[in-house]
Structure 1
Amino acid sequence: MNPAPSLILFTVLSGLGLGMIAWIGLGAGSDAPGFALAGPLVALLLAGIGGVCSAGHLARPDRAWRAFSQWRSSWLSREACLMVLALGAFALFAGLWVLSGIRLRPLGWLAAALALATIHCTAMIYAQLRTVPRWSVTPTPMLFLALGLAGGWLGVQAVVALAGGAAEVGLSLLAVLLGAGVAVHWQTAAAGARRLAAGSSLATATGLGGMGRLRLFEPPHRGQNYLLEEMAFRVGRRRAWQIRLIGAVLGFLLPAALVLLAWLVGDWALLPAFLAHVAGAMALRWLFFAEAEHVQALYYGAPER
């Protein structure tokens, strides 16, 4: 499917921001001067910017408010509602912390639960689509939650280091390794989903396989249309391999090396580790969309794999 930049920015930035909200709400962070303001502020900015980016791929962004009306049946609507609730609860938690110096733990736990629920809803927007095996067959919610929590932890510890506190370097390394493990597990499952998609054909798409070998009499459209642009995006194998390598190096290998380096040169190395992870996560998220094979393309004569 077409990897719209707005969707990449939305899913990555909001996931990181919500991951930071979850960790800070659960008690992570530091009592170092400045963290009470800087930590929540960075988390709210990341989640907020990601939420704004979500409207970038809409034909009428001014109607994005309608997404809040279908929460009974739509994962997208549930995500929008929970995002507002999570940001509101966390902003109240952070405001009380800054003004009074007291963390209201129950409110922080509520904000953390809402943040994790929001990430889950974001993942379910894609995991519910049975027409895209790479999303529906694989543990997509686990991937989104793992990357959000791993990146969120790195973000919290980077702000702790900048605020002059003592960062949790060992746990940061563990977070990177767990995130990498889940990403590898998802990629393995995606390879199985690709084989499942490879079993699809024009015959299975139309349900007319019992009539013998099928071929298109003529294509539904002579020119490019919206469905072909959005549902039949194709990425070359060489390019996909290169981007996957970039995602693995920037998203996990370089952050792990920088976290190890933090033991020698100081906690400041956690900041480039976090920035590298963000860049790697965006590369991997581009592939998440670009390699998704929608069965709709079979009706338009897409090559059978």
Structure 2
Amino acid sequence: MHPAPSVILFTVFSGMGFGFLALLGLGVLTASGWTAFFLWGLGYALAVGGLVASTFHLGHPERAFRAFSQWQTSWLSREGVASVATLLVLAPVAAGQWLGLPAPQGLGWIGAAGCAATVFCTSMIYAQLKTVPRWHHWITPVLFLAFALTGGLILAGQMLAMPAALALSAILFLSFRIGDGQFPAAALTTGHATGLAHLGRVTVLERGHTAGNYLLTEMIHVVGRKHAEKLRIIAILLAGILPALVLLVLPLVAAIPLATAIHLIGAMAARWLFFAEAEHVVGLYYGMR
């Protein structure tokens, strides 16, 4: 599918932001005064900035508020509701630490659970789609949650960031292996798409039109195998392995910004592949499989 920059920025930055906010809510990273203002502000900026970036891909961004009304059936709507509720729940905790005011610790725990729920809802926007076999698997929500947790731990400079980063690289490698087998396992062909499979092997002689259309632009994206393999290696190395090495050998003051920058580059490469390698079944009508 078409790897839109706005959606890549949305999923990468909001995931890290909510992961970081969850750690603040749990009290894993504590601060007061202006230090607390900076840390909470950073978490909110990443989370909210990522959510705002997602609207850039909409044809009518001014109508984005309507997505909140479909929470009973839409994972996208549930994500919107969960994100707003989470940010509101954590606001008193953030203000309390900044201004030195008492705030119920339970709000921090509820907010942390809301952060996890928001990231899970984001992942289910994609994992629910049977029309994209590569995404329709349990590994998709695990991968999104692993990115959020690892990004938050790296940004917070926690010791657990190193094993989490290495685990993330392993999960990312596993997601590539599982994803590669999903479309073949579904055994879908042009014959199934057209309903003519009972007649034998069906091929596309000529497309229904010569000009481009929305489906070809958004649902069908071809990435070269060699380029994909190189990007996979880059993503696995930069998303987890190199940040863990940086955190191990460098002083924390220098390690946190460098490891965060490296991790973000790897996360963007991984998320670009997440979309670019995803094959939508509509491609069968165009003989793209």
Same fold (TM over 0.5): yes
Structure-to-structure mapping, 1:94-109, within 5 angstroms: 94-100=94-100, 102=102, 104-109=104-109
Q: Which residue of 1 aligns with 2:168?
A: 179
Deviations 1:87-108 (A, max 9, x none): 1112221011111254531010
In the alignment, what sits opposite 2:246? 258
Local SS of the residue matching 2:56: coil
The residue number in structure 1 matching 2:227 is: 239
Please, what is the CA RMSD of the aligned residues?
1.6
Q: CA 1:269–1:33 in structure 2 vs 1: closer, same or farther (change >3 Å)?
A: farther
Partner of 2:143: 143
Report the counterpart of residue 164 of structure 1 in structure 2. Answer: none
Structure 1: tracts of 5 or more residues without a match: 158-167
Q: Structure 2: how far apart are the matches of 1:130 and 1:120? A: 17
Does residue 259 of structure 2 align to residue 248 of structure 1? no
Alignment partners' CA distance in 1, 2:170 and 2:204: 43
Change (3 A) 1:71 1:41: same
**Residue 68 of structure 1: how far off its partner (Å):** 0.7
Matches within 5 A, 1:262-301: 262=250, 265-301=251-287
Deviations 1:190-218 (A, max 9, x none): 12214325x32211222321112223353
Q: Give the Å deviation of 1:66.
A: 0.7
TM-score by length of 2: 0.95
Q: Secondary structure at the match of 1:54?
A: helix
Determine what percentage of the aligned residue pairs are the same residue. 44
Stretch moving more, 131-140 or 71-80: 131-140
Q: How many residues align?
A: 289
The unaligned stretches of length 5 or more in structure 2 are none
User: How far apart are 1:253 and its partner, in Å?
Assistant: 2.2
Check 1:134–1:155 CA distance in 2 against 1; reply closer, same or farther (3 A cut): same
Report if the CA contact (8 A) 1:138-1:190 is conserved: no
Letter in 2 for 1:183: L
Distance 1:122 1:227, change over 3 A: same
Superposition pairs of residues 152-167 of structure 1, within 5 angstroms: 152-157=152-157
Give the C-alpha shift of residue 284 in structure 1: 0.3
Q: Deviations over 1:272-299 (max 9, x none)?
A: 1011101110110000000001110111
CA contact (8 A) 1:259 1:270 kept: yes
